[in-house]
Amino acid sequence: MQTKKDIVNETINYLKTKFSDEFSGHDIWHLLRVRNNAIKIQKHEGGDLFIIELASLLHDIADAKFYNGDISIGAVKTLEWLSNFDLDNNKKEHIADIVKNISFKGEAKKNNNLTLEGMIVQDADRLDAIGAIGIARVFAYSGATGRLIYDPDQKPITNHTTETYYKNNNTAINHFYEKLLLLKNLMNTNYGKILAEERHNFMVTFLNRFYTEVEE
């Protein structure tokens, strides 16, 4: 019979293959960093570690950004993968529900329907979207999807709906204002907020330096 550790390891091996050609910043290393962030937060906040680990690893199994904004596809693909294991249906549904609900969808407001495990995974994912890693990932994503680094004539869109957010093709720099700089105040857990503070400040420092060099 498979242990929880076996299931986690099989999931990692599956994702390593699935994301071997991923270059937009949503690669296997992103998934593993999110898992590690989540484990770190769980030690302070509690919650079911097995649920947290699997949801962290599977949270981008089918990102809506790459499926025409279909916000349900991640949960569907998660349940397909979990059907390979002898797991309680409630656990499968819990993991799939986290995958469906943790993504930023354009509106700067919290999802009050998340479980503790969901809040931890969401915080872990958002930590990987900010700080030095977040800066690297936004430019990787922009390059992979044909977005400019910066255009002074393009302004951030601050009133996105879910639909407009997924169709948005604004610049990399504008993405900081449309999402990344908003995440610090959207963290759910106390420990997540502590970890987000320094990363947020690093992005502010980077942007100030960016504008200094642009204007030289």
For the chain, how are helix, strand and coil distributed in percent, rounded to 5? Answer: 65, 0, 35
Q: Please, which residues have CB within 8 angstroms of residue 114's CB and are 6 or more apart in sequence? A: 98, 101, 102, 122, 188
pLDDT at 110: 74
Helix (H, G, I), strand (E, B) or coil at 54: helix
Identify the band that residue 88 occupies on the pLDDT scale cut at 50, 70 and 90: very high
Mean pLDDT of 116-125: 97
Backbone phi and psi for residue 166, each to the nearest 5 degrees, phi listed first: -75, -20
**62 vs 177: which has the higher pLDDT:** 177
- Return d(Cα 158, Cα 108) in angstroms, integer: 9
pLDDT at 68 over 80: no
Q: What is the pLDDT of residues 13-35, one digit of tens each?
A: 999 999 988 888 889 999 999 99
pLDDT at 166 over 60: no
Q: Which of 183, 60, 212, 47 is nearest to 123 (CA)?
A: 183
pLDDT at 168 over 60: yes
Domains, the chain, with CATH or none: 4-215 (1.10.3210.50)
pLDDT at 182 over 60: yes
Give one DSSP letter per residue of 193-207, joined into a string. Answer: HHHHHHHHHHHHHHH
Give one DSSP letter per residue of 84-144, joined into a string. Answer: TS---HHHHHHHHHHHHH-S--SS----TT--HHHHHHHHHHHHTTSHHHHHHHHHHHHHH
Q: What is the pLDDT of residues 125-136, one digit of tens each?
A: 999 999 999 999
User: What average pLDDT is seen over the chain?
Assistant: 90
pLDDT at 161: 60
**159 vs 15: which has the higher pLDDT:** 15
Angle between helices 49-58 and 73-82 (to 10 degrees): 120
Mean pLDDT of 48-73: 84
Confidence (pTM): 0.91
Mean pLDDT of 33-43: 98
Angle at 158 between CA 152 and CA 161, to 5 degrees: 130
Helix (H, G, I), strand (E, B) or coil at 6: helix
pLDDT at 103 over 60: yes
